[in-house]
Chain A
């Protein structure tokens, strides 16, 4: 498995936009977390497609230590109803379009992990397109990236390759430090 992220750049708290094909994006998610964990980082995964429990099981199977990952889950609460947050493990939000709750959850989760080397992984920009216009996605990502830079935290945004229109792609490219097309 090739390394996608330069450890030096991660150390510099850079922000990455990682592109993957629709068929490989799930595997890329696991590969990246394994790589980031190996570098001693805790990853906060914002999941908009799978319940956190499924991802946690996939990661465990991929040999990723459970305590090196925590989740902001935008899927489960919408189906199951009232589920309790598990501090340090998972915070639930009602749906992926609720950007206010998502912003609060990110802030809270980063507080939970204070003192650790943390990387945020946003999975995925493409799923967000179901619920939000490209304008709103762009604004939200800009907001999150500003927050990450202020808190001196690195971040990874996953997106399906060729899935973003040139305007959104240009904006995201401007916001992030690195665009890596993993194919």
Chain B
């Protein structure tokens, strides 16, 4: 019988030791009774450093203020129940690293003594990945809004705040930001109809351009793309809005310049050409005297010189307007 108990104890000890989560069994006043291999690996403190003492907690939480917060939190939980679940704390390892641990505890009785088993899962990598993703969302240069199935906004990133002027506090958990962004009821209705038509055919839309009114009262043009995310019948909408206002302005300016250039270059060249041809005919018909020929030729030479000046002016204007033109071409355009 004793042999069986010993075997059982040995097996339990082996399981405890080889578990992939840190397991600490605490005795009276938080003294460590057992400290498994994972606990050693994660914290850097060996069984020898820890067993029989309660000083490990000061080592794991060297910052007094933070330790007080954790202690109060635990005390608060233990007031109502004798265990806690999913308590997340940040420990300081022997090598000076910070690790995020998700704690669960359970009270047991062993040989008539009350023990607490603390199971700590190292979620550092997971939390870092979450923080990384959150950081990507937050620092993305596109407006990102995530809507729950009821249309309430759950995520509103920094770009969303920067573009619209509305902070997450004003938007999260609400649905009325769209009315603020599209205050014109007729425009909003037209947009809603358009979106409904698109959504009826496919459950997303791509490159839908809309004009929003920001909190400051400025108009911005956004290009929207949406996707449904989620599973298990609960879907969220993720809406990505790219601010293309400057791009549109640049395109409009470029089109305006090109049109103006065509109008102010092609037509004038035609005029010079036609005037010279007509003058040649008038000369043949004896309708021009010498002085008039001089005036016509000189005026057309002035026109031609002005056309060249216009070309240079347009070259410069295009180069200045569109900074994305490669340097070599810009220098050429700038003359």
Residues of chain A touching chain B, judged by Cβ–Cβ distance below 8 Å, are 22-23, 25-26, 49-51, 53-54, 57-58, 61, 75-76, 78-80, 95, 126-127, 129-131, 133-134, 160, 163-168
Contacts and interface: CB of A to CB of B under 8 A. Distances in A.
B268 A51 contact: no
B263 A130 contact: no
Contacts of A78: 298-299, 302
Contacts of A58: 287
B127 interface: no
Given A164-B263, A165-B260, A168-B263, A76 B268 contact: no
B253 interface: no
A130 B260 contact: no
A149 B62 CA distance: 89
Contact of B291 (A80, A134, A160): A80
A154 B302 CA distance: 31
Q: Chain A interface secondary structure, helix, strand, loop or mixed?
A: helix
B3 interface: no
9 contacts: A26-B278, A50-B275, A76-B295, A95-B302, A127-B303, A130-B303, A133-B264, A163-B266, A165-B259
Contacts of A22: 270-271, 274
Nearest to A49: B275
Interface of B: 256, 259-260, 262-264, 266-268, 270-271, 274-275, 278, 282, 287-288, 291-292, 294-296, 298-299, 302-303, 306-307, 310
Nearest to A162: B267
B287 A134 contact: no
B302 to A, nearest CB: 7
Contacts of B282: 54
A134 B263 contact: yes
B263 A160 contact: no
Contacts of B295: 51, 75-76, 79-80
Given A54-B287, A168-B263, A79 B271 contact: no
A22 B267 CA distance: 9
A18 to B, nearest CB: 16
Contacts of B274: 22-23, 25-26
A161 to B, nearest CB: 10
A79 B294 contact: yes
A57 B287 contact: yes
A102 B95 CA distance: 87
A127 B271 contact: yes
A86 B291 CA distance: 18
Contact of B267 (A26, A75, A129): A129
A167 B264 contact: no
Most chain-B CB neighbours within 10 Å: which of A50, A53, A160, A166? A50
Contacts of A134: 260, 263-264
A130 B287 contact: no
A72 B306 CA distance: 21
A78 B303 CA distance: 12
A57 B282 CA distance: 11
B292 A54 contact: yes
Given A54-B296, A127-B271, A165-B262, 18 more contacts: A22-B274, A49-B271, A51-B292, A54-B292, A61-B287, A75-B299, A78-B302, A79-B294, A79-B295, A79-B299, A95-B302, A126-B268, A127-B303, A130-B303, A130-B307, A133-B260, A133-B264, A134-B260
A54 B293 CA distance: 10
Contact of A126 (B256, B271, B292, B310): B271
Given A54-B287, A54-B292, A165-B263, A130 B278 contact: no
A130 B272 CA distance: 10
Nearest to B259: A165
A129 B302 contact: no
A160 B267 contact: yes
A72 B264 CA distance: 23
Q: Which 5 A-B pairs have the closest CB atoms?
A: A79-B298, A163-B267, A130-B268, A79-B295, A165-B259
A166 B256 CA distance: 10
Contacts of B266: 163
A50 B296 contact: yes
A160 B292 contact: no
A53 B267 contact: no
B298 A129 contact: no
A166 B263 CA distance: 10
A163 B278 CA distance: 19
Contacts of A167: 256, 259
